[in-house]
């Protein structure tokens, strides 16, 4: 034990100085380095012989040199230990000019009656704290991102490159590095979706859009050609009015899309069956109503023919038979009117509805029905008063109009469905007016006049009951449905609905 104490007491200054983990410089009182321990050499990235003789100020960032002189002045006025503490921070520079926020402390040391200063540098506690907080927050973000399956991208417009994280690269099939050219990035996007995506970017780059970017598109794996649906939201950042960056998150929504498509197909099938049933019922009801008068008309006509063939011009008989024909024809007409009135009867449950909301719902249904390939433009009147209607029926009409429009637009390059709502005054009364306009081929006048007839269809698998039923439903809800005969190009349908009284 005694030996150990003796050995420790005999340890020389240099050994201790070099063993200390903190960066230390010994300076003479004019502020030039005399010794630098290995920790200081590592911190500043200079060898000791390069540091010796160097004015300590040279290791301080120019804008902090004044502050350093102030510390030095404090110290020399009263050479006592000046420990680290709040405010004893300054920015030092390493060999490469890289800045480091350091805490600094001064200790006087008298060697051969001359004052030396031992300066200790350590990474600023404040800086350390900020770094720790940043690391914790980054870790939290990373975990949340991982849990949500989000990928992050940052597209630099100026350089035409995209920075993206591992998850994004996975979406693209994992074949690329941390940075890729924008061209490479776009190559993997399904050719059919590129135009829509570009339209969403163009929209976001318009300063009037506040930079909001939202798109859904397919990415094709370059190897196995599998497709996945990606949904992205992001924001364009502007510098001096010029878009320079697009940052956002992406999510794989393939499963959701498959499910939506399946549901859409099922709904379509159910709708078709319902239409077929309605058509079958209506047809049999019409047949039922017409059968009797037609049989009678046929019998009266035979009497007339028979009379004429036998040259038996009994005017009384002829008159009676023809009057019978007229009466039966009128009866058939009356029966049909009654039938229609009956079909439209039934308890109609109405409620107060926000028509704009019903339009958005119907649009969602139509968009999710495997008809992804159209853009919709909504010109919805703000603060449209509530309408009094049956929710399911109005929604059915809208979905039917949208589907017809989208089917008609399938041959068009940039299909746009424009839906407008406004308040219209009719007979001094305010009503809601809905306009559904598409960019399809439209209808010629002859066809347009027939589309509300039952069973009128031009589609191979159409039934031709959609518009007939739609018109009946709108009328049952107190409105009217019609087509603008002069709307070409495209078709333009209108319907009205009453506001809540
Ligand atoms: P379906 O769609 O089953 O044929 P509809 O009553 O919905 O029955 O429509 C009847 C016909 O009207 C369609 O077959 C089509 O020829 C025409 N039609 C309806 N909407 C449009 C439209 N937006 N553009 C062009 N033609 C249309």
Alpha carbon distance 376, 52 (integer Å) = 74
- Atom in ligand 1 nearest the alpha carbon of residue 440: 24
Phi/psi of residue 190, each to 5°? Answer: -55, 130
The two tokens of residue 397 are 């009409």
Residue nearest to atom 12 of ligand 1 (CA): 451
- Atom in ligand 1 nearest the alpha carbon of residue 469: 6
> Which conformational region is residue 276 in: left (phi greater than 0), alpha (psi within -120 to 50 degrees), or beta?
alpha
Pick from 11, 212, 199, 23: which is nearest to 100 by CA? 23
The two tokens of residue 276 are 């077929």
| Beta-bridge partners for 332 | none
Residue nearest to atom 25 of ligand 1 (CA): 442
* Close Cβ partners of 128 (under 8 Å, ≥ 6 residues apart): none
Q: How far is the CA of 469 from the centre of ligand 1 (A)?
A: 12
Pick from 209, 90, 197, 89: which is nearest to 153 by CA? 197
| Ligand 1 pocket, mutate which of 406, 439, 445, 457 (most atoms under 8 A from CB) | 457
Alpha carbon distance 252, 168 (integer Å) = 9
- The CATH number for 149-252, chosen from 3.40.309.10, 3.40.980.10, 3.30.450.20, 3.40.50.300, is 3.30.450.20
Residues touching ligand 1 (Cβ under 6 Å) are 400, 404-405, 408, 438, 440, 443, 451, 456-459, 462-468, 491
Using an 8 Å Cβ cutoff, are 331 and 293 in contact?
A: yes
The confidence score (pLDDT) of residue 420 equals 92
- pLDDT tens for 128-185 read 777 778 888 888 888 888 887 899 999 998 888 999 999 999 999 888 888 889 998 9
Pick from 186, 238, 232: which is nearest to 211 by CA? 238
Q: What is the 3-state secondary structure (H, E, C) of 148-184?
A: HCCEEEEEECCCCEEEECHHHHHHCCCCCCCEEEHHH
The confidence score (pLDDT) of residue 81 equals 65
Q: How far is the CA of 470 from the centre of ligand 1 (A)?
A: 12
Q: How far is the CA of 404 from the centre of ligand 1 (A)?
A: 6
Q: How far is the CA of 387 from the centre of ligand 1 (A)?
A: 27
Q: Is 353 helix (H, G, I), strand (E, B) or coil?
A: strand
Please identify, in words, the CATH class of the domain defined by 260-343. mainly alpha
- Atom in ligand 1 nearest the alpha carbon of residue 436: 23
The confidence score (pLDDT) of residue 348 equals 74
The confidence score (pLDDT) of residue 255 equals 93
CATH fold of the domain at 2-128: Beta-Lactamase (3.30.450)
Phi/psi of residue 421, each to 5°? Answer: -125, 145
Alpha carbon distance 479, 139 (integer Å) = 58
Phi/psi of residue 78, each to 5°? Answer: -145, 80
Phi/psi of residue 371, each to 5°? Answer: -105, 55
Residue nearest to atom 11 of ligand 1 (CA): 457
Pick from 403, 416, 376: which is nearest to 459 by CA? 403
Residue nearest to atom 16 of ligand 1 (CA): 458
> Measuring CA to CA, how many Å separate 282 from each of 279, 330, 346, 409, 465?
5, 20, 16, 30, 10
Residue nearest to atom 19 of ligand 1 (CA): 404
DSSP string, 428-468: TEEEEEEEEE--S----HHHHHHTTSTT---STT--S-HHH
Matching CATH topology for 2-128 and 149-252? yes
The ranges assigned to domains in the chain are: 2-128, 149-252, 260-343, 351-498
DSSP string, 295-322: HHHHHHHHHHHHHHHTT---HHHHHHHH
Residues lower than pLDDT 50 in the chain: 84-86
- Calculated CA dihedral for residues 328, 330, 335, 338, nearest 10 degrees: -160
Q: How far is the CA of 366 from the centre of ligand 1 (A)?
A: 15
- The CATH number for 351-498, chosen from 3.20.20.70, 3.20.20.140, 1.10.150.240, 3.30.565.10, is 3.30.565.10
Q: How far is the CA of 340 from the centre of ligand 1 (A)?
A: 21
Q: How far is the CA of 458 from the centre of ligand 1 (A)?
A: 7
Burial call 23-51: b when 16+ CB within 10 Å, e when fewer: bbbbbeeebbbebbbebbbebbebeeeeb
The confidence score (pLDDT) of residue 52 equals 94
| Ligand 1 pocket, mutate which of 435, 451, 454, 460 (most atoms under 8 A from CB) | 451
């Amino acid at each position: 034990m005694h030996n150990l104490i003796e050995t420790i007491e005999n340890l020389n200054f240099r050994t201790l100085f070099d063993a200390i983990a903190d960066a230390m410089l010994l300076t003479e009182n004019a502020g030039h380095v005399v010794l630098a321990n290995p920790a200081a050499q590592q911190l500043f990235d200079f060898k000791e012989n390069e540091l010796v003789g160097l004015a300590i100020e040279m290791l301080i960032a120019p804008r902090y040199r004044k502050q350093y002189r102030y510390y030095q002045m404090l110290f020399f006025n009263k050479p006592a230990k000046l420990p680290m503490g709040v405010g004893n921070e300054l920015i030092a520079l390493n060999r490469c000019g890289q800045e480091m926020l350091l805490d600094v402390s001064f200790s006087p040391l008298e060697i051969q009656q001359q004052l030396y200063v031992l300066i200790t540098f350590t990474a600023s506690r404040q800086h350390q704290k900020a770094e720790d907080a940043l690391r914790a927050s980054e870790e939290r973000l990373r975990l949340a991102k991982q849990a949500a399956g989000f990928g992050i991208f940052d597209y630099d417009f100026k350089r035409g490159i995209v920075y993206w994280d591992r998850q994004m690269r996975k979406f693209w099939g994992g074949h690329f590095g941390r940075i890729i050219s924008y061209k490479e990035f776009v190559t993997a996007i399904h050719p059919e979706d590129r135009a829509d995506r570009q339209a969403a970017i163009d929209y976001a780059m318009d300063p009037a859009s506040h930079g909001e970017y939202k798109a859904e598109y397919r990415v094709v794996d370059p190897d196995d050609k599998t497709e996945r649906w990606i949904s992205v939201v992001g924001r364009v950042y502007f510098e001096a009015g010029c878009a320079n960056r697009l940052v956002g998150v992406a999510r794989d929504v393939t499963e959701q899309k498959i499910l939506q498509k399946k549901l859409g197909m099922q709904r379509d099938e159910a709708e078709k069956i319902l239409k077929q049933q309605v058509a079958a019922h209506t047809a049999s009801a019409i047949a039922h109503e017409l059968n009797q008068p037609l049989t009678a008309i046929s019998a009266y006509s035979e009497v007339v023919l028979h009379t004429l063939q036998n040259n038996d011009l009994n005017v009384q008989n002829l008159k009676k038979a023809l009057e019978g024909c007229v009466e039966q024809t009128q009866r058939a007409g009356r029966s049909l009117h009654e039938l229609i009135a009956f079909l439209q009867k039934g308890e109609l449950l109405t409620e107060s509805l926000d028509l704009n909301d019903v339009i958005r719902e119907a649009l969602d249904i139509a968009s999710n029905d495997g008809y992804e390939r159209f853009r919709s433009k909504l010109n919805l009147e703000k603060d449209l008063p509530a309408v009094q209607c049956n929710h399911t029926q109005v929604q059915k009409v809208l979905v039917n109009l949208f589907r017809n429009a989208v089917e008609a637009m399938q041959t068009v390059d940039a299909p746009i469905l424009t839906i407008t709502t406004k308040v219209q005054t009719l007979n001094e009364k305010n009503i809601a007016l809905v306009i559904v306009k598409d960019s399809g081929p439209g209808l010629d006048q002859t066809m347009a006049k027939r589309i509300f007839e039952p069973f009128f269809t031009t589609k191979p698998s159409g039934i031709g009951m959609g518009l007939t039923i739609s018109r009946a439903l709108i009328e049952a809800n107190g409105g009217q449905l019609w087509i603008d005969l002069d709307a070409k190009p495209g078709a333009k349908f209108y319907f009205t609905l009453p506001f809540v009284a």
